[in-house]
Structure 1
Amino acid sequence: MTCVGSVTKATLRLANASATNTNEVIHLSGRYEIVSLVGTLNRDAHLHISLSDAEGRTIGGHVLGDLEVFTTAEVVIGEAADLLFIREMDDQTGFPELVVGPRSTTK
């Protein structure tokens, strides 16, 4: 639901990337403040982050990996116990897109 902290390394896919053109990836190294972190946590975690540098410039994107915490990352997580989050391939975007539905209560 929220996150504050800092990182020294991050790999992000920028908004212009597509399933076939993934060269819009940046590798950050240095001290960055986490100003936002949102997404879903499940088997296929999907996170987006906004980071600011020492001059206050902000950059953000889809977290691909190499997210290395510097001092702390205080993460508050919420649970939607009645919902099931799955990903299904979307032919139009070329990405597996989130589909939210009710969680089955049968045992």
Structure 2
Amino acid sequence: MADGGSSLQVFALRLAPGEELLSSLLSFVEERKLRAPFIITCVGSVTKATLRLANATAGNTNEVIQLNERFEIVSLVGTLNKEAHLHICLADKDGKTVGGHVLGDLEVFTTAEVVIGEATDLQFSREMDAHTGFPELVIHPRYEKAV
């Protein structure tokens, strides 16, 4: 675990209809060589999504749903290192919500307006956690502190 805080750099982007949200965000992060990126906020809509539900475990990753209708993005949170860990909440035409771990297929319907932050003094990585069975976030200082 990293101690202390970090300076913040902020980026904003808008994705157009038909673009895939997760792969677009990962490309954005890779192109800019961001090392500790995370979602600050996101609004928009999608026409489909593939999500892993809360009941999934390392031994049972079959808790997956594929959605194929129009949804408003009411929340998107998480980290965006190479193995992104994002959770999304979507609202349907009746305002009913569904959410889960983003696996992909988030096809933008009208727009996705995303604000990304980067902790400029930190670096994120993922390492397998024997307790959870999933690769979990590890936070490192980006620079060695002078003694």
Give the shorter-chain TM-score range.
Answer: over 0.9
Indicate the SS of the match to 2:119: coil
Give SS of 1:19's match.
Answer: coil
Q: Secondary structure at the match of 1:104?
A: coil
Aligned to 1:23: 62
Higher strand content, 1 or 2:
1
- Is the aligned partner of 1:36 residue 2:64? no
CA RMSD across the alignment: 1.2
Report the counterpart of residue 50 of structure 2 in structure 1: 11
Aligned-pair identity in percent equals: 76
Compare the two structures and name the one with the higher helix fraction.
2
Unaligned residue ranges in structure 2 (runs of 5+): 1-39
Matched positions, count: 106
- Runs ≥4 residues deviating over 4 A: none
Distance in 2 (CA, whole Å) between partners of 1:70 and 1:94 is 34
Equivalence for 2:111: 72
Of 121, 129, 143, the match for 1:90: 129
Provide structure 1 residue ranges, at least 5 long, that are not aligned to the other structure.
none
Relative to the length of structure 2, the TM-score reads: 0.69
Deviation at 1:105, TM superposition (A): 5.2
Q: Deviations over 1:56-85 (max 9, x none)?
A: 110100000111000000000111010011
